[in-house]
Amino acid sequence: MRPSGRKTDQMRKVSFERNVSKHAEGSCLVKFGDTHVLCTASLEDRTPPWLRNTGKGWVTAEYGMLPRATGERMKREAASGKQSGRTQEIQRLIGRSLRAVVDLEALGERQISIDCDVIQADGGTRTAAITGAWIALHDCLKWMESRNMVKVDRVLKDHVAAVSCGIFAAQSVIDLDYLEDSSAETDANFVITGAGGIVEIQGTAEGKPFTQDEFLTLLGLAQTGISELVALQKQVIAG
């Protein structure tokens, strides 16, 4: 039995709230159970130096956890003058995941910066951030389309979402919360497009190494879960 009482293939309740930021071109508050992440998309009329005069744009991401996102207050990373390795790794993952479904030439020489701020953490913050960031990006592009800057269906090639899976108490489970994540035997994050293309897989054996059959079971759970997430994304943007 999982601590939450969920079935092995049952995700936490997922919700998306759009347009939560007055000033951002696109925004979404995503909730995976008790993990809550605010995602905002900001349009900037510039590109990184290496893309100037190439006709291509860029999508990048920043990630952070608010001081009381967890049980005890954490110091802001800005106070120490540098980001942790974990933070840098996660924001690069978010950026890679979004760029996998964006036509950078169709975007033009502009940059969209996605900020993912964890308000409350209970496991799976990076996967929630990726899934919510896609909606913020979509809405930013819709804002641009309304001003005849781009066509959304030319820039955004597909959906992308992410979910964690792992082996907890000798059973393969999806969407680990903190209690499971902190004691999982295997922990993996899957980033997959709406068409089923694999963008990235991060998998680690925290205890004994996992087998190929166990990995394929986790992949199957992730594929089913991401299909559910993409269906939710489609429902939300159609509203």
Cα distance between residue 164 and residue 127, in whole Å: 7
With cut-offs at 50, 70 and 90, classify the pLDDT of residue 82. Answer: confident
Any binding-site annotation on 124?
A: yes
Beta-strand ranges (E) seen in 26-159 are 26-32, 35-44, 58-65, 111-120
Q: What is the value of pTM for the model shown?
A: 0.96
132 is in an annotated binding site: no
What's the count of helices (H) and strands (E) in the chain, helices before strands?
Answer: 7, 9
Tens of pLDDT, residues 170-207: 999 999 999 999 999 999 999 999 999 999 999 999 88
**Residue 208 binned pLDDT confidence (cut-offs 50, 70, 90):** confident
The reply, when asked if residue 96 is annotated as ligand binding, is no
Looking only at the bridges linking them, the beta strands covering 35-44 and 186-193 are: unpaired
Is residue 239's pLDDT more than 80? no
CATH assignment, 14-238: 3.30.230.70
Ligand-binding annotation for 126, yes or no, is: yes
Domain spans, the chain: 14-238
3-state helix, strand, coil in the chain (%, to 5): 35, 30, 35
